[in-house]
Amino acid sequence: MCADGQAVRLPLASHCVFTVFTLTVQLWLFYLRRTFTACCDRPSPSTVNSRSGPTKGVKTVRQRLRSDVSFVASFLRIAEHVPRAVFRTILAIPLLLVAHNRSAAQELEPGSYQNAPTGVNVAAGSIVISRGNVLTDASLPIEGARAEVEVLGLAYVRTLGVLGRAAKFDAQIPVTWANFSGIVAGEERTRSPRGLADPRFRLSVNILGSPALTIPEFAKYRQRAILGISLQVMPPLGQYDDDRYVNLGSNRWSFRPETGASWGHGRFILEGAAGAWLFTHNGNYVGRIQEQSPLYFVKGNAIMTFRRGIWGALSYGRATGGRTRVNGVETNSLQTNDRLGTTWLVPITRWVAMRAVFTTGLSTRFGADFDSFAIGAQYTWFKRPQPPAAPHDIR
């Protein structure tokens, strides 16, 4: 914060958003240029024999695009043994675009309980921009709280098998730049913390309808009904100043048990989940002890898959509870929040995809009330499946 009390704006995250957007446009322009070049190289009728097809050495559009795909596949030595449909499903492995930790109960996360083959790794980076009141702690003595939060989220997902059932492990690390403002004791105050927020680690297991499958086995799998459970843990490793009301870290452990179900039919998937955030106490809350009751939530998603692996989702979530107590005194802080969001994923290549998320508040009674936009890229890799052994000639 400057000496005159004005918050210092850090444009780094905004620059990152612009960079990601520029790279995305360049990738699409590269693809369109290749397609246009292929169209220009389309053989003329005079060079094509009606019986023998195109003259040797002249490539059609389809052959040109196939050669591009074959080049990438031979370079990575993977795609030759993996069906295209499997790649589309792998790219759709849900990966949360890491949000600010204080909007924890508002994560809508479409696709959390879809099945995926084991042994797949996904790494992602994202930029999340939130505007509004992202402070879910209604016990804070702050009036008219406003915030501008920019998060650089780093995440990793690994699919695996647990007792023969499909499972996922994910880790999320948010690096945050924030500017908070509000009225405390009748005086306008600002604060601009920056640094690491509380990271998150989660294990989810599909207990029904989703066996652990290798990539060749997964090619024959068709989703019907899936039931899964998950547990997310948020350790108090984020930046915390015990003399401040507003911090990036929470100085307490948080746990999120959840149960979810997913039902698929063709290109359409319906999902629902319910759970709660459970909190330990914060023993150094500006010299006092802060406790918070569980914050319960339900959420649902409708997902539609389109051609070329593109999919979109419409999501709704509702959270209620989370009353806080300071030194044993309960505050008037019952939270009730309704949020609506949409998520879109667009594959760029078989291993790279771009994801965009927008969420907004429908109604809020205390707690978080903000708009959030996220854009990120994810890269997928896995061990190349062994090709089937060629039969020996018997003479």
Mean pLDDT computed over 77-97: 51
Mean pLDDT computed over 27-38: 50
Nearest of 210, 258, 229 to residue 108 by alpha carbon: 258
Domain count for the chain, please give it.
2
Per-residue model confidence (pLDDT) at position 73: 45
Q: Is residue 147 situated within a structural domain?
A: yes
Mean pLDDT computed over 365-377: 80
The answer to whether residues 114 and 223 belong to one domain is yes
Q: Is residue 221 situated within a structural domain?
A: yes
Per-residue model confidence (pLDDT) at position 118: 93
The answer to whether residues 49 and 139 belong to one domain is no
Please say if the pLDDT value at position 306 is more than 70.
yes
Query: How much of the chain exceeds pLDDT 70, in percent?
Result: 65
Please say if the pLDDT value at position 171 is more than 70.
yes
Mean pLDDT computed over 86-114: 60
Q: Where is the domain boundary, 59, 81, 103?
A: 81
Question: How high is the mean pLDDT of the chain?
Answer: 76
Domain span at 39:
12-81
The answer to whether residues 234 and 330 belong to one domain is yes
Please say if the pLDDT value at position 136 is more than 90.
no
The answer to whether residues 60 and 76 belong to one domain is yes
Retrieve residue 43's tokens: 């053989």
The answer to whether residues 21 and 150 belong to one domain is no
Per-residue model confidence (pLDDT) at position 387: 63
Per-residue model confidence (pLDDT) at position 382: 87
The long-range contacts involving 307-311, CB below 8 angstroms and separated by at least 24 positions, are: 308/347, 309/87, 309/88, 309/91, 309/92, 309/345, 309/347, 309/353, 310/344, 310/345, 310/346, 310/347, 311/92, 311/344, 311/345
Q: Is residue 3 situated within a structural domain?
A: no
Q: Where is the domain boundary, 50, 81, 112?
A: 81
Please say if the pLDDT value at position 156 is more than 60.
yes
Helix (H), strand (E), coil (C) string for 3-32: CCCCCCCCCHHHHHHHHHHHHHHHHHHHHH
The answer to whether residues 56 and 128 belong to one domain is no
Q: Is residue 392 situated within a structural domain?
A: no
Mean pLDDT computed over 229-234: 96
The CA distance from 234 to 94, in Å, is 19
Q: Is residue 19 situated within a structural domain?
A: yes
The CA distance from 365 to 354, in Å, is 34
Q: Is residue 394 situated within a structural domain?
A: no
Per-residue model confidence (pLDDT) at position 185: 61
The answer to whether residues 94 and 38 belong to one domain is no
The answer to whether residues 156 and 19 belong to one domain is no
Side chain identity, residue 285:
Y
Q: Is residue 388 situated within a structural domain?
A: no
The answer to whether residues 32 and 145 belong to one domain is no
With cut-offs at 50, 70 and 90, classify the pLDDT of residue 273: very high
Q: Where is the domain boundary, 52, 81, 110?
A: 81
Per-residue model confidence (pLDDT) at position 223: 86
With cut-offs at 50, 70 and 90, classify the pLDDT of residue 46: very low
- Strand pairing of 295-305 and 311-321? antiparallel
Please say if the pLDDT value at position 3 is more than 50.
no
Per-residue model confidence (pLDDT) at position 368: 62
The answer to whether residues 77 and 93 belong to one domain is no
The CA distance from 218 to 110, in Å, is 21
The answer to whether residues 176 and 220 belong to one domain is yes
Instruction: Pick from 73-87, 138-152, 157-171, 172-186 the range whose average pLDDT is largest.
Output: 157-171
Please say if the pLDDT value at position 282 is more than 90.
yes
Query: How much of the chain exceeds pLDDT 90, in percent?
Result: 41
The CATH number covering residue 231 comes to: 2.40.128.130
- Is the entire prediction scored with pTM above 0.95? no
Residue 209 and residue 226 in contact, taking contact as beta carbons nearer than 8 Å:
yes
The answer to whether residues 53 and 114 belong to one domain is no
Residue 99 and residue 151 in contact, taking contact as beta carbons nearer than 8 Å:
yes
Q: Is residue 335 situated within a structural domain?
A: yes
Mean pLDDT computed over 151-162: 94
Mean pLDDT computed over 310-337: 87
Please say if the pLDDT value at position 20 is more than 90.
no
